[in-house]
Amino acid sequence: MDKYLYDKEVTCPVCNMKFSTKKPRIRKIPVEKKDPDFHIWYKELNPVFYNVWVCPNCGLSVTESEHKPLTAEQKSLILKHVSVKWNKRDFGSERTWEHAVETHKLAIFMGQLLGKPNGYLGGLSLRLGWLYREANSTQEDTYLQHALDYFEKAYAEETFPIAGLDEVSLSYLVGELKRSTGKPKEAIFWYNKALEHPDIKNKRLIQLKARDQWQLAKDDYNKQKEGAEHA
Protein backbone atom coordinates (compact mmCIF):
# COMPACT_ATOMS: atom_id res chain seq x y z
CA MET A 1 0.00 0.00 0.00
CA ASP A 2 3.05 2.23 0.32
CA LYS A 3 2.75 3.31 -3.26
CA TYR A 4 -0.64 4.90 -2.46
CA LEU A 5 0.09 6.28 1.02
CA TYR A 6 2.72 8.49 2.58
CA ASP A 7 3.28 9.75 6.10
CA LYS A 8 2.66 13.36 6.95
CA GLU A 9 3.87 14.94 10.17
CA VAL A 10 1.41 17.41 11.68
CA THR A 11 1.14 19.43 14.87
CA CYS A 12 -2.08 19.35 16.86
CA PRO A 13 -3.64 22.81 17.22
CA VAL A 14 -5.03 21.90 20.67
CA CYS A 15 -2.19 20.12 22.54
CA ASN A 16 0.74 20.95 20.20
CA MET A 17 1.79 17.33 19.98
CA LYS A 18 3.46 16.28 16.73
CA PHE A 19 1.99 13.16 15.19
CA SER A 20 2.02 11.28 11.92
CA THR A 21 -0.99 10.60 9.71
CA LYS A 22 -1.23 8.76 6.39
CA LYS A 23 -2.14 10.72 3.28
CA PRO A 24 -3.34 9.02 0.10
CA ARG A 25 -1.87 9.74 -3.35
CA ILE A 26 -5.38 9.97 -4.74
CA ARG A 27 -4.47 10.41 -8.39
CA LYS A 28 -2.47 7.17 -8.40
CA ILE A 29 -5.25 4.94 -7.06
CA PRO A 30 -7.08 3.07 -9.84
CA VAL A 31 -10.79 3.82 -10.12
CA GLU A 32 -13.34 1.07 -10.53
CA LYS A 33 -16.51 3.11 -11.11
CA LYS A 34 -18.28 6.32 -10.13
CA ASP A 35 -21.72 6.80 -8.58
CA PRO A 36 -23.95 9.76 -9.50
CA ASP A 37 -23.44 11.42 -6.07
CA PHE A 38 -19.67 11.85 -6.65
CA HIS A 39 -18.80 8.71 -4.72
CA ILE A 40 -15.94 6.83 -6.33
CA TRP A 41 -15.31 3.10 -5.97
CA TYR A 42 -11.53 2.76 -5.87
CA LYS A 43 -9.56 -0.40 -6.42
CA GLU A 44 -7.03 -1.46 -3.79
CA LEU A 45 -7.32 1.48 -1.40
CA ASN A 46 -10.07 3.87 -0.36
CA PRO A 47 -8.66 7.37 0.21
CA VAL A 48 -11.76 8.35 2.25
CA PHE A 49 -10.37 6.18 5.07
CA TYR A 50 -7.68 8.83 5.65
CA ASN A 51 -9.93 11.87 5.48
CA VAL A 52 -9.91 12.61 9.21
CA TRP A 53 -6.75 13.48 11.12
CA VAL A 54 -6.86 12.31 14.74
CA CYS A 55 -4.46 13.53 17.42
CA PRO A 56 -3.46 10.42 19.41
CA ASN A 57 -2.82 12.53 22.51
CA CYS A 58 -5.90 14.75 22.96
CA GLY A 59 -8.37 13.24 20.48
CA LEU A 60 -8.92 16.26 18.22
CA SER A 61 -10.42 14.84 15.00
CA VAL A 62 -10.77 17.11 11.97
CA THR A 63 -10.13 16.94 8.24
CA GLU A 64 -7.06 18.51 6.69
CA SER A 65 -8.97 21.63 5.65
CA GLU A 66 -10.03 22.25 9.25
CA HIS A 67 -6.70 21.32 10.80
CA LYS A 68 -5.92 24.92 11.72
CA PRO A 69 -5.55 27.16 14.77
CA LEU A 70 -8.52 27.18 17.13
CA THR A 71 -9.72 29.91 19.45
CA ALA A 72 -9.04 29.57 23.19
CA GLU A 73 -12.74 28.87 23.65
CA GLN A 74 -12.71 26.08 21.05
CA LYS A 75 -9.62 24.52 22.62
CA SER A 76 -11.26 24.45 26.02
CA LEU A 77 -14.35 22.78 24.49
CA ILE A 78 -12.16 19.99 23.12
CA LEU A 79 -10.24 19.62 26.39
CA LYS A 80 -13.46 19.53 28.40
CA HIS A 81 -15.65 17.32 26.17
CA VAL A 82 -13.09 15.13 24.36
CA SER A 83 -9.62 14.97 25.93
CA VAL A 84 -10.69 14.14 29.50
CA LYS A 85 -12.39 10.95 28.33
CA TRP A 86 -10.09 10.23 25.38
CA ASN A 87 -8.95 6.64 25.32
CA LYS A 88 -5.51 7.26 23.79
CA ARG A 89 -5.10 5.56 20.45
CA ASP A 90 -3.24 6.20 17.24
CA PHE A 91 -4.87 6.17 13.80
CA GLY A 92 -1.56 6.91 12.06
CA SER A 93 -1.12 3.44 10.51
CA GLU A 94 -3.08 1.81 7.70
CA ARG A 95 -6.77 2.06 8.48
CA THR A 96 -9.60 -0.42 8.26
CA TRP A 97 -13.20 0.35 7.30
CA GLU A 98 -14.05 0.33 11.03
CA HIS A 99 -11.35 2.96 11.68
CA ALA A 100 -12.78 5.06 8.84
CA VAL A 101 -16.29 4.95 10.31
CA GLU A 102 -15.04 5.70 13.82
CA THR A 103 -12.89 8.66 12.74
CA HIS A 104 -15.73 10.16 10.69
CA LYS A 105 -18.08 9.89 13.67
CA LEU A 106 -15.47 11.56 15.88
CA ALA A 107 -15.06 14.36 13.34
CA ILE A 108 -18.83 14.92 13.07
CA PHE A 109 -19.13 15.08 16.87
CA MET A 110 -16.25 17.58 17.10
CA GLY A 111 -17.49 19.59 14.14
CA GLN A 112 -20.81 20.05 15.94
CA LEU A 113 -19.03 20.87 19.20
CA LEU A 114 -16.84 23.52 17.53
CA GLY A 115 -19.69 25.05 15.53
CA LYS A 116 -18.13 24.23 12.14
CA PRO A 117 -20.07 25.16 8.98
CA ASN A 118 -23.01 23.03 7.85
CA GLY A 119 -21.17 22.42 4.58
CA TYR A 120 -18.29 20.80 6.46
CA LEU A 121 -20.66 18.59 8.49
CA GLY A 122 -22.52 17.71 5.29
CA GLY A 123 -19.29 16.60 3.63
CA LEU A 124 -18.42 14.34 6.56
CA SER A 125 -21.95 12.87 6.72
CA LEU A 126 -21.89 12.21 2.97
CA ARG A 127 -18.60 10.32 3.27
CA LEU A 128 -19.93 8.31 6.21
CA GLY A 129 -22.96 7.41 4.08
CA TRP A 130 -20.59 6.27 1.32
CA LEU A 131 -18.64 4.10 3.79
CA TYR A 132 -21.88 2.36 4.77
CA ARG A 133 -22.75 1.93 1.07
CA GLU A 134 -19.43 0.14 0.57
CA ALA A 135 -20.39 -2.20 3.45
CA ASN A 136 -23.87 -2.69 1.99
CA SER A 137 -25.45 -1.34 5.19
CA THR A 138 -28.87 0.29 5.54
CA GLN A 139 -27.16 2.97 7.69
CA GLU A 140 -26.24 4.58 4.38
CA ASP A 141 -29.66 6.24 4.09
CA THR A 142 -29.44 7.71 7.59
CA TYR A 143 -26.20 9.54 6.83
CA LEU A 144 -27.21 10.59 3.31
CA GLN A 145 -30.29 12.17 4.90
CA HIS A 146 -28.07 13.98 7.44
CA ALA A 147 -25.83 15.17 4.59
CA LEU A 148 -28.88 16.44 2.74
CA ASP A 149 -30.13 18.40 5.77
CA TYR A 150 -26.71 19.99 6.32
CA PHE A 151 -26.27 20.86 2.63
CA GLU A 152 -29.70 22.48 2.38
CA LYS A 153 -28.89 24.67 5.39
CA ALA A 154 -25.45 25.44 3.98
CA TYR A 155 -26.93 26.37 0.60
CA ALA A 156 -29.24 28.88 2.28
CA GLU A 157 -26.75 30.33 4.77
CA GLU A 158 -23.12 29.78 3.75
CA THR A 159 -20.83 31.07 1.03
CA PHE A 160 -19.39 28.95 -1.78
CA PRO A 161 -17.39 26.80 -2.10
CA ILE A 162 -19.41 24.56 0.24
CA ALA A 163 -17.77 21.21 1.06
CA GLY A 164 -15.39 22.00 -1.80
CA LEU A 165 -18.25 22.40 -4.29
CA ASP A 166 -19.43 25.37 -6.36
CA GLU A 167 -23.12 26.27 -6.58
CA VAL A 168 -23.87 24.22 -9.71
CA SER A 169 -22.24 21.08 -8.30
CA LEU A 170 -23.92 21.41 -4.91
CA SER A 171 -27.36 22.02 -6.46
CA TYR A 172 -26.90 18.89 -8.56
CA LEU A 173 -25.72 16.90 -5.51
CA VAL A 174 -28.69 18.01 -3.39
CA GLY A 175 -30.94 16.90 -6.28
CA GLU A 176 -29.22 13.54 -6.38
CA LEU A 177 -29.52 13.05 -2.59
CA LYS A 178 -33.22 14.00 -2.77
CA ARG A 179 -33.74 11.42 -5.52
CA SER A 180 -31.85 8.64 -3.77
CA THR A 181 -33.73 9.26 -0.52
CA GLY A 182 -37.12 9.01 -2.26
CA LYS A 183 -38.09 12.65 -2.93
CA PRO A 184 -38.23 12.86 -6.73
CA LYS A 185 -40.31 16.06 -6.91
CA GLU A 186 -37.79 17.96 -4.80
CA ALA A 187 -34.97 16.32 -6.76
CA ILE A 188 -36.36 17.80 -9.99
CA PHE A 189 -36.42 21.27 -8.38
CA TRP A 190 -32.71 20.98 -7.48
CA TYR A 191 -31.61 19.50 -10.82
CA ASN A 192 -33.40 22.42 -12.48
CA LYS A 193 -31.52 24.84 -10.23
CA ALA A 194 -28.25 23.34 -11.52
CA LEU A 195 -29.39 23.20 -15.16
CA GLU A 196 -30.68 26.79 -15.17
CA HIS A 197 -27.58 28.24 -13.50
CA PRO A 198 -25.52 30.50 -15.81
CA ASP A 199 -22.29 28.61 -14.93
CA ILE A 200 -23.68 25.24 -16.10
CA LYS A 201 -22.15 25.86 -19.55
CA ASN A 202 -18.70 25.48 -17.96
CA LYS A 203 -19.72 22.22 -16.30
CA ARG A 204 -20.46 19.91 -19.20
CA LEU A 205 -20.22 16.65 -17.24
CA ILE A 206 -22.61 17.89 -14.53
CA GLN A 207 -24.97 19.16 -17.22
CA LEU A 208 -25.15 15.76 -18.92
CA LYS A 209 -25.47 13.93 -15.61
CA ALA A 210 -28.17 16.32 -14.32
CA ARG A 211 -30.25 15.72 -17.46
CA ASP A 212 -30.04 11.93 -17.07
CA GLN A 213 -30.84 12.02 -13.36
CA TRP A 214 -33.65 14.56 -13.94
CA GLN A 215 -35.29 11.98 -16.22
CA LEU A 216 -34.93 9.23 -13.61
CA ALA A 217 -36.48 11.51 -10.98
CA LYS A 218 -39.31 12.38 -13.38
CA ASP A 219 -40.05 8.67 -13.92
CA ASP A 220 -39.98 8.07 -10.15
CA TYR A 221 -42.33 11.00 -9.63
CA ASN A 222 -44.80 9.71 -12.24
CA LYS A 223 -44.77 6.30 -10.59
CA GLN A 224 -45.39 7.88 -7.18
CA LYS A 225 -48.33 9.86 -8.61
CA GLU A 226 -49.82 6.79 -10.28
CA GLY A 227 -49.40 4.86 -7.03
CA ALA A 228 -51.22 7.63 -5.15
CA GLU A 229 -54.06 7.72 -7.70
CA HIS A 230 -54.63 4.00 -7.48
CA ALA A 231 -54.35 3.85 -3.72
For the bound state, the minimum distance from the C-beta of residue 145 to Zn ion, rounded and expressed in Å, comes to: 32
For the bound state, the minimum distance from the C-beta of residue 100 to Zn ion, rounded and expressed in Å, comes to: 20
For the bound state, the minimum distance from the C-beta of residue 101 to Zn ion, rounded and expressed in Å, comes to: 21
Q: What does 73-135 look like in DSSP terms, one character per residue? A: HHHHHHHHHTGGG-------S---HHHHHHHHHHHHHHHHHTT--HHHHHHHHHHHHHHHHHT
For the bound state, the minimum distance from the C-beta of residue 60 to Zn ion, rounded and expressed in Å, comes to: 5
C-beta of 58 vs 144, nearer to Zn ion: 58
- Considering the rule CB under 5 A, would residue 12 count as an interface residue with Zn ion? yes
C-beta of 46 vs 74, nearer to Zn ion: 74
C-beta of 62 vs 148, nearer to Zn ion: 62
For the bound state, the minimum distance from the C-beta of residue 61 to Zn ion, rounded and expressed in Å, comes to: 10
Q: What ranges make up the beta strands (E) of the chain?
A: 5-11, 18-24, 31-34, 40-42, 52-54, 61-63
Cα distance between residue 133 and residue 151, in whole Å: 19
Asked if 167 and 160 count as a contact pair (C-beta separation under 8 A), the reply is yes
For the bound state, the minimum distance from the C-beta of residue 12 to Zn ion, rounded and expressed in Å, comes to: 3
What track of x and - describes contact with Zn ion for positions 113 through 142 (by CB under 5 A)? ------------------------------
C-beta of 40 vs 79, nearer to Zn ion: 79
C-beta of 25 vs 88, nearer to Zn ion: 88
DSSP 8-state secondary structure symbol assigned to residue 167: H
- # of chain residues touching Zn ion (CB under 5 A): 8
Going from the C-alpha of 229 to that of each of 50, 89, 185, 222, 224, the distances in angstroms are 48, 57, 16, 11, 9
For the bound state, the minimum distance from the C-beta of residue 77 to Zn ion, rounded and expressed in Å, comes to: 13
Cα distance between residue 121 and residue 117, in whole Å: 7
Query: Three-state SS for 10?
Result: strand
Cα distance between residue 22 and residue 50, in whole Å: 6
Site residues for Zn ion, window 50-69 (CB under 5 A)? 55, 57-58, 60
Q: Choose one: 5-13, 98-106, 111-119, 184-192; the region binding Zn ion (CB under 5 A).
A: 5-13
Asked if 54 and 103 count as a contact pair (C-beta separation under 8 A), the reply is yes
Cα distance between residue 175 and residue 16, in whole Å: 41
Residues that bind Zn ion (CB under 5 A): 12, 14-15, 17, 55, 57-58, 60
